[in-house]
Amino acid sequence: MAMCGCTHLEEFLRYLKVERQMSPHTVRNYRVDLTQFLEFYQERRAEARLAEVTYQDLRAFLATALKHLRKTTVARKLSALRTFFKYLQRLGVLTQNPAKLAPSPKLEKVLPHFLSVDEAFHLLGEPQGDDFGTCRDKAILEVFYGGGLRLSELAGLNLGDLDLGPGVLRVWGKGAKERLAFLGEPAKAALTAYLPLRQRMMQQQGTGDETALFLNSRGWRLSTRGVARLVAKWVRQSGLSQGLTPHGLRHSFATHLLEGQADLRAVQELLGHASISSTQRYLHLNLDYLMEEYDKAHPRSK
């Protein structure tokens, strides 16, 4: 017997990819989460149609998921179901959205790991050498910290997205939204050292990806996994916390801008956040700094 709602699921995934322009990774997550629910629903109510799904069905699915999955994963599944049911409402398959009433699991507030300014400078100074790999890695670290890019955004950069003179990058963010990222002199210098080596390596290989900005040793686009591995390598080599990820460099970028008194709206634009609330969480990252600023500036702090 075919899985209940299978046709609607495929149409929905096509809608996410074509109309919402979501990344293949996000569409894969939707497929996994929604397939799990549809299989659960079919086992629970074998003869029921998708149009008959209720809040009770959803609650039973989430309760089962919470037994063996992290709350963040369950929250993601609930978000996927809300979007799917909203889509089915528009098609007229459902009269109401059963996921609208479901409360999201209460998530533990985990402060993301980020670097102090001194630690960031220490990490960026770690790659020393003039070979292809070292120069590429230094350029990647500088672009992460200088531009505040997401991992997928950096791996997706093309040579044509870079305007090295003024130090501007055209970045394609979530939902295929375009924004500009700006690079300081150290990032521009690192890219200036890397680009001729990239060109020489492409000529030596005789094949590869001419469009990609950052390449692996065989001349093809460096994958997100490859980028994450090289960041982990330099973090390990620098003696900094092993918990720092590429996203930690983006957190550091945002935190240091706000500590430098950058306007919150400007930081929102630079990060490519759709909502200001996403940017506001960076404000509470460095409590010691905020308390120090309060003590210095507020007339009633003493």
Residues recognised as catalytic: 150, 174, 247, 250, 273, 282
- What is the DSSP track for 63-78? HHHHHHS-HHHHHHHH
Helices of type H across the chain: 6-18, 24-44, 55-68, 71-91, 117-124, 132-147, 151-155, 185-205, 224-238, 246-259, 264-271, 276-280, 287-297
> DSSP states of 18-48 as a string?
HTS---HHHHHHHHHHHHHHHHHHHHHSTT-
Nearest to 147 by CA among 287, 12, 252, 6: 252
d(CA 234, CA 136): 12
Angle ∠(10,80,58) on CA atoms, nearest 5:
100
- CB hemisphere CA count around 278 (13 angstroms): 11
b vs e for 186-213, b when ≥16 Cβ sit within 10 Å of the residue's Cβ? Answer: bbbebbeebbebbeebeeeeeebbeebb
SS3 180: strand
Q: Could you give the CA distance from residue 230 to residue 251 in angstroms, rounded to a whole number?
A: 18
Distance from C-alpha of 113 to C-alpha of 289, rounded to nearest angstrom? 16
Closest CA to 184 of 238, 257, 244, 128: 257
